[in-house]
A and B are shown apart, each in its own frame.
Chain A
Amino acid sequence: MSHDRKRPVTLEDLLRLKRAERPAPEFWDRFDRELRAKQLAALVQKRPWWRDLPPVFAGLRRYHVPLGAAAVLALTVVAVRNYVVMPVPATPAPGTGLAVTSRTETQPISEIAIESSRTEASSNVAPLAVVAAVETDAPVENSSAMGFSSVIPLIAGTLGASPAAVESTPLARSMAANLAAVETAGTRMLLGRVDTFEARLDGNRSNTIEPLQQMTSPAEVRLARYRSPLVATISGEPNDRTGERIARRISDDRLYDQISRIGARGDRVQVRF
């Protein structure tokens, strides 16, 4: 027995003590009662439908993150590719006068010129041949010359749809009627006012002087300071106009050569030859 008491106690022995930590027997009675109640509740409770899915996806659990990342990547690639090669409808709908042309399929949208012309007169909209330039650098006059009635198919959001189908809806008909009325009531006058306003605005813009332009750069100030005594020594007269003329003639090389030869310190002037 004394031999047993002197045996070394290891970490494993200490951890083995944890095995001996057991609850009292009455604990298990309560445990069984609670477990029985939970079991019955689980039997009665309706399980969500996804719990009964076959365990096909159980094996994929560890691949959730890589699969999700791959799906996102694939979706991004497909979306980008579809965005770049997204074709603009190039063929007009049969029987309509709407012709939509695109320069190239991969061209940016801002460079796509959409020509729409009407060959048939609708019942309440005057026929009008229109060239709608969607280019951002297109002159404003083009857009001002565009008739509003030609915008109706574009507003409807269906470039490929026939105007007849678009105008068949009550909303399109009312919009066409309103826009035609506005057009006849003096669209050009309104747009002309806009043009004059913009021209006035441009004129004001050209007259204003930027504050930065009024500032003299330090380099110019320094150059003027160096040139003034130099010009005075060359010309010998204090005439501003002459001095300016001479200062213009002096090359930069000569200027800096003179500066390096002439030095002033305190009450002394030093000239090197």
Chain B
Amino acid sequence: MDATKILGKTLVASPERRQEADADLAIVRQVQAGDVAAFDRLITKYRERVFGIVYNLSGNREDAADLTQDAFIKAFQSIHRFGGQSSFFTWLYRIAVNSSLSHLRKSRLRSFFSLERIDSDEPVAKEIIAALTDKTGVDRDAYVRELQEKLNDAMQKLSIRHRTVVTLFEVDGLSHQEIADIMDCSVGTVRSRLHYAKQLLQAELQPYMRR
């Protein structure tokens, strides 16, 4: 499989992404050749990212775990059909997102939410939390918990498609083109959805933003 085809399709601009795609493709070829254990490396590599996407879409830890596992199983079952037209992670994300969207449509009325703990050791999170809780007399943990719930509420108020775009762009850091590939729509549609979703989130989270 030529790597240029992958690059042209997914616009993996950075060299790291390019190397990553090539490495994934090599592993996929091993699995397709019969080395089933090689798939475990792909699971280990992508499980947290896929879980993060699905968790932010569903807002529920248990559902997210199930959907992530299902996405890996589906990918494993269909790996012989993976031709390399897109990068493996785009393909895997597409499976996970489609499974999540299907699940959310089915269980729209009976959804409940559970929040994960924010890793306060991460530098970016630490900095943001410090900026938010520099006022005296504020219980930091309680404030972070409240903010987390408010964030989750605001995300769940978005439609499924808008939530997906925001999650893939802001949380997972994918490019517009990659999101368009995953969601099977145009880049313009992705930008439009992102703009609209951010407007709604801005209105919801205004009290927590500081100028």
A residues with CB within 8 A of B: 4-24, 27-28, 31-32, 34-35, 38-39, 42-43, 47, 51, 55, 62
Cβ B116 vs Cβ A21 within 8 A: yes
B171 contacts A by Cβ under 8 Å: yes
Q: Could you say which residues of chain B place their CB within 8 Å of the CB of A11?
A: 198, 201-202, 205, 209
Cβ B128 vs Cβ A9 within 8 A: yes
Q: Which of B13-21, B47-55, B174-182 contacts A (4 or more CB under 8 A)?
A: B47-55
16 contacts between A and B (CB under 8 A): A4-B130, A9-B208, A11-B198, A12-B170, A13-B131, A14-B205, A16-B125, A19-B125, A19-B171, A19-B172, A20-B120, A20-B122, A21-B115, A22-B48, A23-B61, A51-B77
Cβ B125 vs Cβ A20 within 8 A: yes
Whole-angstrom distance between the alpha carbons of A15 and B81 in the complex?
Answer: 35
B72 contacts A by Cβ under 8 Å: yes
Question: What 1/0 flags go to B58-98 for Cβ under 8 Å of A?
Answer: 00010001001110110011000100000000000000000
Cβ B134 vs Cβ A21 within 8 A: no
Whole-angstrom distance between the alpha carbons of A31 and B122 in the complex?
Answer: 23
Interface of B is mostly: helix
Q: Could you say which residues of chain A place their CB within 8 Å of the CB of B110?
A: none
Which residue in chain B gives the minimum CB-CB distance to A18? B171
Which residue in chain A gives the minimum CB-CB distance to B170? A15
Contact of B69 among A13, A35, A43 (CB under 8 A): A35
Closest 6 CB pairs of A and B: A20-B125, A15-B170, A21-B116, A5-B134, A9-B210, A20-B119
Q: Report the minimal beta-carbon distance from B205 to chain A, rounded to whole angstroms.
A: 6
Knowing A9-B128, A11-B201, say if A17 contacts B76 (CB, 8 Å). no
Contact of A38 among B69, B155, B201 (CB under 8 A): B69
Contact of B117 among A22, A31, A38, A47 (CB under 8 A): A22
Contact of A35 among B43, B128, B184 (CB under 8 A): B43
Knowing A17-B147, A22-B119, A23-B116, say if A31 contacts B69 (CB, 8 Å). yes
Q: Could you say which residues of chain A place their CB within 8 Å of the CB of B205?
A: 11, 14
Whole-angstrom distance between the alpha carbons of A129 and B70 in the complex?
Answer: 77
Cβ A15 vs Cβ B166 within 8 A: yes
Q: Could you say which residues of chain B place their CB within 8 Å of the CB of A15?
A: 151, 166, 170-171, 201
Cβ A16 vs Cβ B134 within 8 A: no
Q: Report the minimal beta-carbon distance from B118 to chain A, rounded to whole angstroms.
A: 5
Q: Report the minimal beta-carbon distance from B49 to chain A, rounded to whole angstroms.
A: 10
Q: Could you say which residues of chain B place their CB within 8 Å of the CB of A18?
A: 56, 151, 155, 167, 170-171
Contact of A22 among B72, B116, B124, B128 (CB under 8 A): B116
Q: Could you say which residues of chain A place their CB within 8 Å of the CB of B131?
A: 4-7, 9, 13
Q: Could you say which residues of chain A place their CB within 8 Å of the CB of B52?
A: 19, 21-22
B132 contacts A by Cβ under 8 Å: yes
Whole-angstrom distance between the alpha carbons of A165 and B159 in the complex?
Answer: 70
Whole-angstrom distance between the alpha carbons of A37 and B151 in the complex?
Answer: 34
Whole-angstrom distance between the alpha carbons of A23 and B184 in the complex?
Answer: 30
- Most B CB contacts (10 A, CB to CB) among A16, A24, A34, A47 go to A16
Cβ B122 vs Cβ A14 within 8 A: no
Knowing A17-B128, A17-B151, A19-B171, say if A10 contacts B209 (CB, 8 Å). yes
Q: Could you say which residues of chain B place their CB within 8 Å of the CB of A28?
A: 47-48
Knowing A10-B209, A14-B151, say if A5 contacts B130 (CB, 8 Å). yes
Q: Could you say which residues of chain B place their CB within 8 Å of the CB of A35?
A: 43, 69, 72-73
Q: Could you say which residues of chain A place their CB within 8 Å of the CB of B211?
A: 8
Q: Could you say which residues of chain A place their CB within 8 Å of the CB of B43?
A: 32, 35
Whole-angstrom distance between the alpha carbons of A207 and B73 in the complex?
Answer: 85
Cβ B128 vs Cβ A13 within 8 A: yes
B127 contacts A by Cβ under 8 Å: yes
Q: Could you say which residues of chain B place their CB within 8 Å of the CB of A8?
A: 209-211
Contact of B65 among A6, A12, A31 (CB under 8 A): A31
Whole-angstrom distance between the alpha carbons of A8 and B210 in the complex?
Answer: 5
